[in-house]
Amino acid sequence: MEIILALLKVFGVLIGAVLAAAVLTWYERRMLGLWQDRLGPNRVWFFGIGIVVADMLKMFFKDDWIPPFADKPIFVMAPAIMLGSIWMAFAVVPFAPGIHVIDLNVGLLFFMGMSSMAVYGVLLGGLSSNSKFALIGGLRSAAQMVSYEVFMGLSLMGVVMITGSFSLVKIVEAQGDLWFVVTQFLGFIVFMIAGIAESHRLPFDLPEAEQELVQGFHTEYSGMSFGMYMVGEYMGVVLVSVFITTIFFGGWLGPDFLAWTGIAWLSTVTDFFWFAVKAAFFISFFVLLRAAMPRPRYDQLMSLGWKIMLPLTLLNLVVTGYVLLMQT
């Protein structure tokens, strides 16, 4: 029974993450349509949601062409590294009390490590393609990730200092009285911006700036290996939203509106509902960012990171430490 439950959780999280990413492709296009006075995919099935299946079938049956000039083993491995590492990070997310694959006592570090690993997928993909555009894309992504990684980690340290633990379950439970978005507002802002850069979403999608670099690091990819990058990117969006929810917005915490039924397992359902609602809000915000924000120049991105974000993070860290010291 224990094993079956564990397996159910593992596969539920694995498949759920992919499904969320797949539905997100459709959701993003519909929302962009809403904001740009057009329709988006509306043909296949109900509100066009069948486009997800159609896209998936198309991806699977397309010719997966490996360019003869590419470094073959690395070229094949790179999308798997990206997808796999982002997938792994979902293991530590507590969706509801008890609904998590594993409650690592270094869960936050595991997430940071895995999202850093995803950079290797992008970087190696760009390098092994042996093409100029892909190389520039990979290079940009490396520089962007290295600089944003620094304060992405530091911005979470305030939360860790308050909670006294890296475990995500403990972090959520520590927000029972007050969500960390209030006490760690600077940390939240910085983590969010770093998260956008980490999942290279549109305001910061310099690695694949299609106006300048064709498709950036995945210029040479086709078929399902391209699809893996795409799924990886959308899963990155889900991942960052899920982590913002968990760390700053109280994860599953919310009013238990089904308590009057008196059925015990329904409280888990409401917990998960609140978690999903919060995560969906941030996913929508990511899509809105894509609809509204122009892409900064590369040096602007770097100077924003080093000159504004890093000092803000350090300030947040110092103030948090000071306040904590005063309280004890």
Partner 1 sequence: MLENIISQFRTLYGVCSHMFRRYAKRGPMYEVVGKKKLWETVQYPEEMPYLAPRFRGRIVLTRDPDGEERCVACNLCASVCPPDCIALQKTEADDGRWYPEFFRINFSRCMMCGLCEEACPTYAIQLTPEFEMGEYHRENLIYEKEHLLIDGQGKYPGYSFYNVAGKSIAGKDKGDGDGEAPPVDIHSLLP
Which one among 19, 269, 288, 324 touches partner 1, defined by CB under 8 A?
288
Q: Any bridge partners for residue 99, and if so which? A: 96
Among 53, 293, 315, 324, binds partner 1 (CB under 8 A): 293
Nearest C-alpha neighbor of 247 from the set 110, 94, 145, 85: 94
Cα 139 to chain centroid distance, Å, stands at 21
Q: Please tell me whether residue 8 binds partner 1 under the rule CB under 8 A.
A: no
Count, residues near partner 1 per rule CB under 8 A: 11
Give the range of 27-35, 167-175, 178-186, 236-244 binding partner 1 by CB under 8 A. 27-35
Quick one: 102 or 289, whose CB is closer to partner 1?
289
- Work out whether 39 is an interface residue with partner 1 (CB under 8 A): yes
Distance, in Å, from the CA atom of 5 to the CA atom of 52, rounded to the nearest integer, reads 29
Give min distance, CB of 190 to partner 1, in A.
13
With contact defined as beta carbons under 8 Å apart, do 217 and 225 qualify? no
The answer to whether 92 and 101 have CB atoms below 8 angstroms apart is: yes
Of residues 84 and 296, the one with the C-beta less far from partner 1: 296
Is residue 128 within 8 A of residue 78, CB to CB? The reply is yes
Min separation Cβ 94 and partner 1, Å = 30
The verdict on 263 binding partner 1 (CB under 8 A) reads no
Find the part of the chain contacting partner 1 (CB under 8 A) among 18-26, 59-67, 95-103, 285-293.
285-293
Q: At what angle do helices 185-198 and 223-248 cross, to 10 degrees?
A: 180
The length of the chain is 328
- Binding residues vs partner 1 (CB under 8 A): 33-35, 37-39, 288-289, 291-293
